[in-house]
Amino acid sequence: MSLESMLIVAAIIFCIGLYGALARRNFIAVLMSIELMFNAVNLTLVAMGRWLVPFAVQEQLSTVLTGQVFAVFIITVAAAEIALGLGIVFAVYRTNESVDLTDAATMRH
Amino acid sequence: MWFEDAVFWILAVVAIAGSVGVVLVRDLFRASLLLSLVFIAVGGFFILMNAEFLAVVQVLIYVGAIAVLFIFAVMLTRDVQRGNTPNRLQVPAAFIATLLLVMMVATVVTTDWTTLAGAGLENKSRVAQIQAVGIPDAARLTAAGLTADEVTDVQTGGLADLLIGEFVLPFEAVSLLLLAAAIGGLALARGRGR
């Protein structure tokens, strides 16, 4: 386990999520892929905070946790995003009777 | 050390195979179960990286809330006949994702990382990261090789201290965002004219 291997694992998960977000038709599957990408970014941030610290702040030990603070914010934003995203899914499902993104591409009812 | 490595590779295989499953499995219900498996594996990575607080938050929020929301959404809107079908962009999407992956891996491999271990700071960072959950014993910190000043720094530091100290402005902005998201979710769920 090293910084490089952790970053590569996160990159693989991110690219799988990117493929899923671009190539799926189902609204919910696209949201799941976006969650995968959020998780990969969190992994990268925590790994950077675990193994690297900016040279200027090495003297102050509490700044070691900066990466984790960023990850906490990302988790919060992801939770808000998923609550609203699923609300939109239900709104689209009510008007279109399907959760297919190609049906919903016009964005009007 | 070999134990950490073994756990890391097991978690890596579980996380990557799980995410491939999320993207490719046709049944959306199974995809959301696989998604919670990936979330748990990422929580395991957090524990490996001494971020225990984040691991707990990961399991509580992602597995406890987001995965359950996904399962509800799948059950309420299920397109049983079609499932998780691909669209016409499949080939360009695979091309773009592979290209990005190659670029990122090349960057990671060629960059000369100056890690904390190289700077002799690994032990200190480990001690500071324990701060995410509790206040450590001063005697143990001294035994770990910290000077008196560093001991006070570690004992006053921690995730909560950073959140309501240095990062107080983003913290308040995020609370406003959550309020806006709650109101927006209510407005979306209520629909028009009712």
Q: For all residues of chain B together, what is the average pLDDT?
A: 81
Question: What are the residues whose beta carbons fall under 8 Å from the beta carbon of B98, sequence distance 6 or more?
Answer: A15
Reported as half-sphere exposure (CB side, CA atoms, 13 A), residue B126 has a value of 11
* Residue B129 to chain A, least CA–CA distance (Å): 7
pLDDT of B1 higher than 90: no
Helices B28-48 and A27-51, axial angle in degrees (round to 10): 10
Name the more confident of B80 and B72.
Answer: B72
What local confidence, expressed as pLDDT, does residue B123 receive?
58
Instruction: State the pLDDT at residue A17.
Output: 95
| Chain B contacts in chain A segment 38-97 (CB below 8 A) | 39, 42-43, 46-47, 49-53, 58, 60-66, 68-69, 71-73, 75-84, 86-91, 93-94
Looking at per-residue pLDDT, the higher value among B40 and B118 belongs to: B40
Q: What are the structure tokens assigned to A73, written together? A: 């914010």
- Overall domain count for chain A: 1
Instruction: Give the domain range for residue A13.
Output: 3-106
User: Is the full-model pTM beyond 0.95?
Assistant: no
Residues A39, B62: C-beta atoms closer than 8 Å = yes
For chain B, list the domains and their CATH numbers: 1-86 (1.20.120.1200)
Residue numbers of B between 71 and 90 with CB closer than 8 Å to A: 72-74, 76-77, 79, 82-87, 89-90
> How far apart (Å, rounded) are the C-alpha atoms in residues A84 and B180?
10
Residue B155: exposed, middle, or buried by beta-carbon count in 10 A (0-12, 13-18, 19+)? middle
What ranges make up the beta strands (E) of chain B?
none
pLDDT bin (cut points 50, 70, 90) of residue A38 is very high
pLDDT at A56: 46
Calculate how close chain A gets to B81, using CA atoms only, in Å: 11
The HSE-up count of residue A102 (CA atoms within 13 Å, CB side) is: 9
Q: Determine the Cα–Cα distance for residues A105 and A33; give it in Å rounded to an integer.
A: 19
Query: What's the pLDDT tens digit per position in B171-180?
Result: 999 999 999 9
Cα–Cα distance between B19 and B123 in angstroms, integer?
Answer: 33
As for the ipTM of the complex, it is 0.89
Q: What is the CATH number of the domain that holds A83?
A: 1.10.287.3510
Cα B44 to Cα A25, B11, B64, B100, B175: the distances in Å are 31, 7, 15, 26, 27
Q: DSSP letter at A97?
A: S
More confident: B185 or B162: B185
B2 phi/psi in degrees, rounded to 5: -65, -30
Distance (Å, rounded) from C-alpha B51 to C-alpha B38?
17
Mean pLDDT along residues B63-73: 90
Tell me the per-residue pLDDT of B142-164, one tens digit each, with 9 for 90 and over. Answer: 666 666 766 666 655 567 777 88
To probe the interface with A, which of B13, B76, B87 has the most A CB atoms within 10 Å?
A: B87
CA-nearest residue of chain B to A64?
Answer: B125
Q: Which among A5, A8, A64 has CB closest to B129?
A: A64
pLDDT-derived band at B17 (thresholds 50, 70, 90) equals very high
**Predicted confidence (pLDDT) at residue B100 exceeds the cutoff of 90:** yes
Distances (CA, A) of A61 to A46, A53, A104, B113, B138: 16, 10, 50, 20, 15
pLDDT above 80 for A20: yes
For A42-98, the pLDDT digits (tens) are: 999 988 887 776 554 555 555 667 788 889 999 999 999 998 998 888 888 888 777
pLDDT at A95: 80
Residue A105: pLDDT over 50: yes
Which residue in the set B87, B162, B185 is minimally distant from A69, CB to CB? B162
